[in-house]
Structure 1
Amino acid sequence: MTPRRPSHAAFWGGAALIGWTYAAFPLVILARARVRPRAFASGPVTPTVSIVIAAHNEQAAIGAKVANLLALDYPADRVEILIASDGSTDATVARAAEAAAGDGDRVRVLDLPRTGKAGVLNAAVAQATGDILVFSDANSMFAADALRELVAPFADEEVGGVAGDQRYLPDDGDLDGAASGERGYWDIDRRIKQAESDAGNVISATGAIYAIRRSLFREVPEGVTDDFTTSTGVIDQGRRLVFAPGAMAFEPVGSSASVEYGRKVRVMTRGLNAVLVRRALLDPRRHGFYALQLFSHKVLRRLMAVPLLVVFAATLRLARRSPLYGLAALAQGGVYGLGAAGLALGRHPAGRHRLLALPAYFCLVNLASLQALGNVLRGRTVNRWEPQREEET
């Protein structure tokens, strides 16, 4: 019996972590929103707003981005737009200035040296004058009423930050299985985020669209996910971070597994480093239930590849000794087999079916998390990168 005990402990311990992270924790979040709702005020306020965009070699997207922001349904005299170029070597600065022609009093293009996103964000915010700072990505397009929806919760003084709703543009049929699977993930994540907000705080904001009070901004350190660090800084200072589902920003999903994999490795490497920076938020004595939210979502979920591997290895060892473990081995092998098939089929229509797309995305994310964990353990940071965008034709 002795040789079996470590395998049993590994299987059930790992299964408990997986079950909590993927099933029990989301159910707890949904139940808590119903049992302990915590409302906040929301109203038609129009504070002064500074929209900050950090861009490096975004010539293909920046003109449309500036035009999109200039067309928002919000009092023009209460919005300023800062485009901060991070040492772009293409036509990003020229395209931004061209798009802003005639609106130079509303748009400022900062041609900064290459320092990394954190540095240019800090430099841009230092020049911002609005009471509310709005952050977005160069390739994220706001709905016409997104800014009004985003600032409405600031009618409540307790609210220090607002996370908007990132949505993906309609599928043009050119996505592979893993990219299609990401859509399904975000549909689920959106429901969880709404429940988190209804009961207290969302865990963090997405870089596509979010806002904080300028008085709560703290400089972004190098090597971290800036949207996570900036938005959670609001909670660290005792204010609420809530979700505004009507504040929508649309962007394309990564068109291929290779592009998405590289992005995930970068985001998760920076994200894990950001959690280390914000580790004080993991203290339940100070932050209560939010500490559990943060640990479950941003630590356990990003490290799920480890218990998944442990459980699979333990299952294979135990499979011959019990039908239960045999079925578990078949189930796990089936998921990983479907994921591998989805990744291998790429853009083939069969690979984009949900039966393959979701497992493909699941496998891709967990493989990326292993590399990200390795980066963090080796002390590797990601301060600069080249955007992977579709080039103009």
Structure 2
Amino acid sequence: MFVELGVALLVAAAVPYLLFAVLYGWHRPRGSPIEKEAYEPTVSIVLPTYNEAGIVERKLADVAALDYPTEKLELIVVDASDDRTPDLVESYFDDDGPTVRVIREESRQGLAIALNEGYAAASNDVIVKTDCDSKVAPDALREAMANFADPDVGAVTGRTAEVLGGSEVESDYRGIQAHIQTLESHLDSTFIFHGPFSAFRRELVVPVDADSLADDSELALRIRRNGHRVVFDPDVRYSEAAHSGFRQRRTQKDRRAMGLIRLLTRQVDALGRHGRYGRAVLPFNWLFMLVGPWLLAAGLATLTLGALLSFGVSGAALPLALAGFVAVGSRDALGPLQPFYALFDTQVSLLHAALALQFTAADGQWEPEAELREAFD
């Protein structure tokens, strides 16, 4: 009985993936869902920083390399550092660079508060939020702005073109995620927005919750609720670093998962509303992020119990096989099975994040990861 129940739970956990496969096969979406046109609005780039002295000049070079008229750019840095970061920013550009404004926070209050302050200070048509520990493709800004030629578009995000540090686990997951977000955007709008590059029409920007752990996605969701599409364009490319090791990935991946879970639960009243966004996109993310991890855990636990009751000590082969799967997968050594491990790893993060939200305080603070930043050198 336990074996049959365990199998049934695992099949139920696979429902989101089956739904995606059916919808993707039906639509076969490619590229941006928007008929893009050349468009050059003024842009405010908002960059939150905290003790970034070792990498901030590389990020500023990244901004300087953007294929976009400098006179249409302003850079707003919201800084809470106790190192030389703000001084390096203020002295980096010469008279030919973008307008630069550094907002120095008296005390560190959290990422969401810093972003709300930066967004409020922006004066241009479109606000682009980016992270200091990411690289943006030179044409990313131009590709993103071409989506805003459609007045129905309120926000645009892009894809991870390269995972720095060589993490195949994250690279495989981001590839799967890009397919999901492309489909979501062709159906209506996408749910997840990404820190390395997220763009918003300034007049649509509203403050996010002070304790938000998914500030980009929260702002996009609020813009969609107010009547504008929020889309994923795979031609908008960026790079960021990631771990492959199972334990190393928990801090980085679990924090993201906590933010998305909290956002979904706080915005539960959006289900069933706002066109296909509320009828298809959000239900899929609920199944994938909130229901699926618990079904997977219950299925594996029940199946293990059934195997032990049915086969005695030999039934321990199942948890041992799972441990081997994790050990080999975290070393990027599963070959063609590696994408399955990437999905499993994500479900682990979502389950761990759901538990952490119940028993820990998530205050919106973030800490720089020195090991990941070495990938940029």
The TM-score range, normalised by the shorter chain, is 0.7 to 0.9
- For the 8 Å contact 1:181–1:354, the answer to whether it is kept is no
1:354 aligns with 2:335: yes
Alignment partner of 2:186: what SS?
helix
Give distance in 1, aligned partners of 2:333 and 2:83. 34
Structure 1 residue 46: Cα displacement = 0.3
Q: Which residue of 1 aligns with 2:356?
A: 375
- 75, 91, 95: which is aligned to 2:88? 95
**1:364–1:9 CA distance, 2 compared to 1 (3 A):** closer
Is residue 253 of structure 2 the alignment partner of residue 253 of structure 1?
Answer: no
Residue 16 of structure 1 deviates from its aligned partner by: 3.6
Aligned to 1:119: 113
Structure 1 residue corresponding to 2:65, chosen from 58, 63, 71: 71
Amino acid at match of 1:254: H
Q: Distance in 2 between matches of 1:191 and 1:132?
A: 26
User: In percent, how many aligned pairs have the same letter?
Assistant: 25
CA shift for structure 1 position 8 = 4.1
Corresponding residue number in structure 2 for 1:17: 12
**Structure 2 partner of 1:263:** 252
Q: What's the offset of the Cα at 1:158?
A: 0.9
TM-score when scaled to structure 2?
A: 0.86
Amino acid corresponding to residue 260 of structure 1 in structure 2: R
What is aligned with 2:293?
305
- The answer on whether the counterparts of 1:339 and 1:362 sit within 8 Å (CA) in structure 2 is no
**Greater shift after overlay, 109-118 or 369-378?**
369-378
Partners in 2 of 1:80 and 1:93 — Cα distance? 16
| Amino acid in the other structure paired with 2:143 | E
1:42 aligns with 2:36: yes
1:226 aligns with 2:211: no
RMSD across aligned positions (CA): 3.1
Aligned to 1:84: 78
Is 1:294 aligned to 2:288, yes or no? no
- Residue 184 of structure 1: aligned partner: 172
Equivalent residue number for residue 370 of structure 2: 389
The residue correspondences of 1:326-341 to structure 2 (distance < 5 A) are 334-341=321-328
Is 2:146 the partner of 1:130? no
Deviations 1:201-243 (A, max 9, x none): 1222111112111111110112221111011122111111122
| 2:234 paired with 1:239 | no
- Distance in 2 separating the partners of 1:329 and 1:75: 63
Give the AA of the match of 2:41.
P
Q: What is the CA distance between 1:334 and its match in structure 2?
A: 3.5
How has the CA–CA distance of structure 1 residues 162 and 315 changed in structure 2, closer, same or farther, with 3 Å as cutoff? same
Amino acid at match of 2:292: M
Aligned CA distance change for structure 1 residues 29 and 217 (closer, same or farther; 3 Å): farther
SS in 1 for 2:170: helix
Change in Cα spacing, 1:243 to 1:207, as seen in structure 2 (3 Å) is: same
Kindly indicate whether the alpha-carbon contact (under 8 Å) linking 1:335 and 1:359 is maintained by their aligned counterparts in 2: no
Contact (CA 8 Å) 2:46, 2:128: kept in 1 or not?
Answer: yes
Q: Residue 190 of structure 2 aligns to which amino acid in structure 1?
A: V
Distance in 1 separating the partners of 2:22 and 2:190: 14
Q: Could you tell me which amino acid in structure 1 is paired with residue 113 of structure 2?
A: G
Change (3 A) 1:316 1:207: same
Structure 2 Cα separation of the partners of residues 169 and 320 of structure 1: 40
Please tell me whether the aligned partners of residues 59 and 134 of structure 2 are also in contact (alpha carbons under 8 angstroms). Answer: yes
How far 1:10 moved relative to its partner? 5.5
Contact residue 304 and residue 318 of structure 2 kept, 8 A: no
Instruction: Report how far residue 159 of structure 1 moved.
Output: 0.9
- Residue in 1 that maps onto 2:99: 106
Q: Deviations over 1:65-97 (max 9, x none)?
A: 112112211111111111111x21222212222
* Gap change, CA 1:122 and 1:170, over 3 Å in 2: closer
Partner SS, residue 155 of structure 1 = coil
Tell which deviates more after alignment, 287-296 or 244-253.
287-296
Quote the Cα distance in structure 1 between the aligned partners of 2:81 and 2:124.
26
Q: Distance in 2 between matches of 1:273 and 1:258?
A: 22
Moved more, 379-388 or 266-275: 379-388
Deviations 1:288-333 (A, max 9, x none): 454432232255335533212211222234448999xxxx997786
CA-CA distance at 1:364 after TM superposition: 4.1
- Give the secondary structure class of the aligned counterpart of 2:321: helix
What amino acid is aligned across from residue 134 of structure 1 in structure 2?
V
Secondary structure at the counterpart of residue 207 of structure 2: coil
Q: Report the alpha carbon displacement of residue 360 of structure 1 after superposing the two structures with TM.
A: 5.5
Name the stretch that deviates more: 91-100 or 65-74: 91-100
Aligned length, in residue pairs: 369
What is the CA–CA distance in structure 2 between the aligned matches of 1:223 and 1:358, rounded to whole Å?
32
Task: State whether residues 153 and 230 of structure 2, in contact with CA within 8 Å, keep that contact through their aligned partners in structure 1.
Answer: yes
Offset, 1:342: 4.0
- Tell me the secondary structure at the aligned position of residue 237 of structure 2: strand
Q: Which amino acid aligns with 1:19?
A: A
Q: Secondary structure at the match of 2:370?
A: coil
